[in-house]
Amino acid sequence: MAGAEDLFSVEGQVVLVSGGSRGIGRAIAEGFAERRARVIISSRNPESLSQAVEEMQESGLTVESVVCDVSSEEDITSSVEQVLEAAGHIDTLINVAGVNRRKRAETVTTEDYDFIMDTNLRGAFLLSRAVGRHMIERGSGTQINIQSLNTWMPLKGVLPYAMSKSGMQGMTRALALEWGPRGVRVNSLSPGFILTDLTRKLWSDETMQAWNAANAPLGRLGVPEDMIGTAIFLASRASAFMTGQTLYVDGGFSSGWNWPIPLD
Ligand code: NAP
């Protein structure tokens, strides 16, 4: 029986993080590398991947990278093959790659819809399937899907994004059902409002800042590093009896409605 200190260990795991070059994926990749996992990050852009790998190296972390646009099935097949060739297996897949476009529902173009769904939902499915086939063969593995508060309840102005994140919830549960008996656990992590390239402009708006300050139970915006603990938990033995679940790491936003009820 492993000691108490091993409960949350991810040491020695091979971890593939899609969308690992920036933001939430980058922080999670660093969190695993700091805990001595072998981490491979992927994204569309070779330059941003190399920059991320170099910066992590400067802070003493060894991380590998592979180019993969998750909206391309060809990229997914070849990148998963490359990782398996280099590392032999994958213990944990983290589906982070995601995009958004904010606009009124009636102005969403078919191209907007396809762009968002092809990355956030179809891309996550294709990657889960490619890595899942290999995990099933090995009889073990863990997958973590990055969802959103939009899974819990849609925010106005992000229709295709909200649809993609609800779809991810369905995917998480459906895969958990099918793959649980075959040794593969699938869970999700739903971040709240996190300051990244995806959201920086939005949160520079003073009205938005005031709304967050008035409504966030924990009183602040999140930072990408806030996601590390839960991702480690979901990839480790500590969550061995959990599958098909979504954990909200959202500063309390999904706890309920804040309303201006007059109270003494
Ligand atoms: P971000 O800073 O914009 O980073 C997005 C990452 O995804 C980058 O590494 C980007 O790299 C990669 N990416 C985008 N499209 C891709 C594609 N087609 N194939 C492969 N990689 C792709 O965004 P973030 O805020 O960290 O968001 C990461 C995830 O968290 C997303 O799924 C997002 O929906 C979710 N999330 C974010 C928030 C938030 O408040 N920030 C809240 C809830 C959920 P390249 O550009 O180099 O490809």
Backbone angles phi, psi at 224, to 5 degrees: -50, -35
Ligand 1, atom 33, lies closest to the CA of 98
Tell me the percentage of the chain whose pLDDT exceeds 70: 98
Q: How far is the CA of 220 from the centre of ligand 1 (A)?
A: 21
Q: What pLDDT is recorded for position 1?
A: 53
In one-letter notation, the amino acid at residue 167 is: G
Could you read off the pLDDT of 54-102 as tens digits, one per residue? 999 999 999 999 999 999 999 999 999 999 999 999 999 999 999 999 9
C-alpha dihedral sign at 21, 22, 27, 28: negative
What does pLDDT average to over the chain? Answer: 97
Topology of the domain covering 4-248: Rossmann fold (3.40.50)
Q: Which atom of ligand 1 is nearest to the CA of 147?
A: 44
Instruction: Out of 161, 179, 233, 253, pick the active-site residue.
Output: 161
The vertex-115 CA angle with 114 and 119, nearest 5°, equals: 105
Please name which of 98, 153, 162, 149 lies closest in space to residue 127, comparing C-alpha atoms.
98
Q: Is 99 touching ligand 1 by the criterion CB < 6 Å? A: yes
Q: Is 38 touching ligand 1 by the criterion CB < 6 Å? A: no
Q: How far is the CA of 256 from the centre of ligand 1 (A)?
A: 26
Judge if pTM exceeds 0.95: yes
Q: Which atom of ligand 1 is nearest to the CA of 69?
A: 19
Integer Cα distance of 96 and 230 in angstroms: 14
The structural domains of the chain, with segments of one domain joined by +, span 4-248
Could you read off the pLDDT of 196-252 as tens digits, one per residue? 999 999 999 999 999 999 999 999 999 999 999 999 999 999 999 999 999 999 999
Q: How far is the CA of 69 from the centre of ligand 1 (A)?
A: 12
Are 100 and 73 within 8 A, CB to CB?
A: no
Q: How far is the CA of 146 from the centre of ligand 1 (A)?
A: 9
Question: Which residue(s) pair with 77 in the sheet?
Answer: none
Q: Tell me the two tokens of residue 190.
A: 């739903």
Q: Tell me the two tokens of residue 161.
A: 């994004």
Q: Is 161 a catalytic residue?
A: yes
Q: Is 94 touching ligand 1 by the criterion CB < 6 Å? A: no
Backbone angles phi, psi at 66, to 5 degrees: -145, 135
Q: Which atom of ligand 1 is nearest to the CA of 75?
A: 19
